Amino acid sequence: MRKGFLAAALLGIMATVFCTTAIPGMAEAKGDKFKVAGISAPEYRGTKSLYAIKDKFEAATDGKIELDVFPANQLGDYTQVFEEIRRGSIEMGLIFLPSQFDVMLEVGSLPFLASTGEEMKKQLSPGSVVYDIIDKSLDKLGVKLLRLYGDGFIGVGIAKKPSNPTDPSADKDALIRVAPVAVYKETAEDMGFRTTNIPYADTYSAIQTGVCDGWIGGSSQINYLSFRDVIDYYIPYNCLFDQTAYIINKKLWESMKPEEQKALLDAVNVEADKSFADSTIEDLEFQKKLEEAGVEIIEVSDEERAALAEHIRATTWPKLAKTYGEETLEKIKKDL
């Protein structure tokens, strides 16, 4: 009798513990707090978008779920945050998608995927081939894609004026820093630049000391805020497009009530939709600020940019087919 009583008591304790212990990646009925990781500084519009989403979502759910925003890599860099979101120890984020988990997460960075913010919005929104590829890749990794966010077109910030800057394939007689990603390296070299891999944190001093002449990988805003003192020229090639992604742990998303999912998506969609138009306005704004800071803007006409795009799609895209697959690139081309 005593053994039976002890066994029953033990089972009761175990059941209580199981029922009251939070399961990673699953939402509780009410009073939840989701950690939301951001990579940008508080003054960047991407970070501001997270606070706008927080206000709208919390109002729509009567504060039953709180979004606790941590900007400026407070929860770790984007690769670490991505892994934590997969596990559920961080619930949500607006971050770059690390391609070491799946190279197909890079397809949104194909060179000259589009030439305007409005065209890029079409390519990086639900319903496009590119969006569908990224969505399915994240789903396999246990992550739900809410939307892609437009950070802006990328140009070249450089300390010396390149030779033939707008000629598609002419030698630019300049060495620039590129990120250790094939799409950046191949694009820059096919545009006539020599390239080098230097850690981003060392890029400023590398340009300052002449280790390299400049860099590719940032918008006019990034060049103004972080490099205006070491560059003399900025070339708005708009050859690549920076984007980040609103993502959430898949199990957590599936555990949310339909009305909670809708409230979150509604808030995210507003910010994602406007991000592409905002990026265009912001680009022109910071080009003007660069000029005021003494940096010359080397203009690229629509005709010159179209010629660059044609050259890169004919020269660089076939090289990238080894990475993404010819069939994938053909589908994307048809969707342009």
Q: Decide if 214 contacts 158 (C-beta within 8 A).
A: yes
Structure tokens, 142: 């246990």
Predicted local confidence at residue 16, as pLDDT:
42
Give the model's confidence band at 4: pLDDT under 50 very low, under 70 low, under 90 confident, else very high.
Answer: very low
Res 14 pLDDT > 50: no
How far lies 158's CA from each of 56, 234, 323, in Å? 41, 6, 29
215 Cβ contact list (under 8 Å, min separation 6): 156, 157, 158, 176, 177, 178, 203, 207, 227
Count of other CB atoms within 10 angstroms of residue 314: 11
Tens digits of residue pLDDT in 82-116: 999 999 999 999 999 998 999 999 999 999 999 89
200 Cβ contact list (under 8 Å, min separation 6): 179, 217
Predicted local confidence at residue 31, as pLDDT:
59
Predicted local confidence at residue 182, as pLDDT:
85
Structure tokens, 55: 């206000």
pTM of the shown model: 0.86
Give the model's confidence band at 21: pLDDT under 50 very low, under 70 low, under 90 confident, else very high.
Answer: very low
Residue 222: which of 163, 279, 165, 180 has the closest Cα?
A: 279
- DSSP states along 128-194: SHHHHHHHHHHHHTTEEEEEEEEEEEEEEEESSPPSSTTSSSS----EEEE-SSHHHHHHHHHTT-E
Residue 194: which of 211, 202, 205, 298 has the closest Cα?
A: 211
Tens digits of residue pLDDT in 140-186: 999 999 999 999 999 999 999 999 999 998 999 999 999 888 899 99
Q: Decide if 245 contacts 148 (C-beta within 8 A).
A: yes
Predicted local confidence at residue 25, as pLDDT:
42
Give the model's confidence band at 41: pLDDT under 50 very low, under 70 low, under 90 confident, else very high.
Answer: confident
Structure tokens, 274: 């406007």
Most distant CA atoms of the chain, gap in Å: 93
- Please give the helix or strand (H or E) that residue 236 lies within, else none: strand 233-249
Domains delineated in the chain: 24-335 (3.40.190.170)
What's the average model confidence in pLDDT over 319-335?
A: 91
Instruction: Count CA atoms closer than 13 A to 126's CA, side-chain side.
Output: 8
Q: Are strands 32-38 and 175-178 parallel, antiparallel or unpaired?
A: unpaired
Structure tokens, 314: 């004919």
**313 burial type by CB count under 10 A (0-12 exposed, 13-18 middle, 19+ buried):** middle
- Mean pLDDT of the chain, nearest integer: 90
Task: Looking at the chain, list the stretches that DSSP marks H as alpha helix, in order from N- to C-terminal side.
Answer: 2-20, 45-60, 78-87, 117-123, 129-140, 182-190, 200-209, 220-222, 250-255, 258-292, 302-324, 326-335
- The alpha carbon torsion through 169, 174, 178, 180 (nearest 10 deg) reads 80
Give CA–CA dist 165/236, Å, rounded: 11
